[in-house]
Chain A
């Protein structure tokens, strides 16, 4: 069972928070090992280098300040200083982040924001005109804390508002009796969102939404009602579906891949996408479009093969409970939300589920759909050519290999977090860890961009070599996007790495395969790269014995 070390600091009684976190991780099949600091010991734990926090060396730090406690602090501030309250508070937070970084450079900090604010009504609605009012300062503080998050890679601000529990997040009797500032149901919810986020960082998140069409993307049945009869835009309850499509389009722009799986004739199913003027989604937005009369479970499997992702990263949205049931039964790893009956509720329902948690974003993401579509064209072409080497030559592939630059950091970190299959050791890195490798002389870093005559694949492969001293180097990380499988990119990168290391007077390269449920694809990678197995999963290669590997990629 995966174990995660989490420390909890708070300005209220956090025992319940710890219990909720334990429960939430257990639900997801992980074990949370917790360090619960004393009540109200945030300053001490962070400042003192011998504190329990630092001895514990957590992977995650939940830094949870209740807004109620913050307001007490505000009331203790002299009236003259109140207009600087948010600014001063933020300065303190940033100083503390720096302090934590010094001692625990790799700990990820999770900071629930002060979203549960409420006007204390000392100034009523006039508060917005008074910069020394509580309401003015706490709203400002929330905006500033987001900026802190932008400046500090591993400091994450959490949304603290749960719509369903709104108004029930605090029981004032418990505040007085036990310094418990949040109700157990609220803490359960917060803990679950933390667990989801932590698993997201370690690579478990949703990459693809599979959509049904009739009564999911539009009202009515295209096969029966025809192009003019389906409800989208101004017709009937079409507005509900328009809003749903807009939300899906936003998701797609963020980098979540959209696929269609519908029981229909392909031509009929695509008709609205081609010719209905009120449709928000177009065929360009859909990476894989499947419409036939086969079982949806089989079709989802086909989509999975084309996209090369795991079932557990797919979400299936269908208005039909019977179809949902079949998919759940056959593909238990696919997430199948119980869609509300009323299409007007689709978007608020999905928002409340927060299914698409992510721990990274790069502009590369928004091009993903296009890349999958290009991939589908390549698949078509490779079908028509039987000789692989003719095909590879005809692709006219070119590559650029370079050490990590500042602008590569986010994408590289993302690859370490996302890739499960072509990933030799599955070590996850945050952006700040990747960033620190750029300057570190112990690391030689490589990232590869590839393009061919169809278009660019972007940055698709990463190698991190650690110099161990004594002329020995070690393959810490080798990752490749499955989009470029069988393109000899790995051969190309190996040739480059060996050449580079030889210049650095390295004599021996060591490697290791760390097996996971998902990475059997690279079980034999090191053998294929010409390295010699020394035992079980360990490999070595004396660089003077390296034979240049065949590759179809040109500089």
Chain B
């Protein structure tokens, strides 16, 4: 089961912020530096770390960090 804490290293790396705080309800608006450009790097980073490939619709459907987690767990078969 993938949890928020598993995503933090990817976010910390891409956004260059060691102390980043993420919750299920966090959205891009809440996080400094999470713009459309870094969003792509985040997708690439998450795909690499969890060895998954998201579809175009999946990426577009995300509203917050919780959506990413759910999506990941569906992909990896944990949900």
Q: Do A and B come from one complex?
A: yes
Work out how many contacts link A and B, with CB atoms closer than 8 A: 25
Give the residues in chain B near A19, CB-CB below 8 Å. Answer: 37
Least Cβ distance of B16 to chain A in Å? 12
Answer whether residue B55 sits at the interface, using C-beta atoms and an 8 A cutoff: yes
| Chain A proximity mask over B46-78: 1 for CB below 8 Å, otherwise 0 | 000000011110011000000000000000000
Answer whether residue B21 sits at the interface, using C-beta atoms and an 8 A cutoff: no
Residue of B nearest to A178 (CB): B40
Q: Do A173 and B40 touch (CB < 8 A)? A: no
Answer whether residue A174 sits at the interface, using C-beta atoms and an 8 A cutoff: yes
* A19-B44 Cα distance, complex, nearest whole Å: 15
Q: Do A15 and B37 touch (CB < 8 A)? A: yes
Residue of B nearest to A180 (CB): B40
Answer whether residue A183 sits at the interface, using C-beta atoms and an 8 A cutoff: yes
* A183-B40 Cα distance, complex, nearest whole Å: 10
Give the residues in chain A near B25, CB-CB below 8 Å. Answer: none
Q: Which of A167-186 contact B (CB under 8 A)?
A: 172-174, 176-178, 180, 183-184
Give the residues in chain B near A180, CB-CB below 8 Å. Answer: 40
Answer whether residue A16 sits at the interface, using C-beta atoms and an 8 A cutoff: yes
* A183-B37 Cα distance, complex, nearest whole Å: 13
What is the predominant secondary structure among interface residues of chain B facing chain A?
helix
Q: In the complex, which range does the number of interface residues on chain B fall in?
A: 10 to 19
* Given A173-B54, A173-B55: A178 in contact with B44 (beta carbons within 8 A): no
Q: Do B44 and A183 touch (CB < 8 A)? A: yes
Q: Which of A16, A172, A177 contacts B37 (CB 8 A)?
A: A16
What is the predominant secondary structure among interface residues of chain A facing chain B?
helix
| Chain B proximity mask over A249-275: 1 for CB below 8 Å, otherwise 0 | 000000000000000000000000000
Give the residues in chain A near B60, CB-CB below 8 Å. Answer: 177
Answer whether residue B41 sits at the interface, using C-beta atoms and an 8 A cutoff: yes
Give the residues in chain A near B56, CB-CB below 8 Å. Answer: 172-173, 176-177
Q: Do A174 and B54 touch (CB < 8 A)? A: no
* A174-B53 Cα distance, complex, nearest whole Å: 11
Answer whether residue B36 sits at the interface, using C-beta atoms and an 8 A cutoff: yes
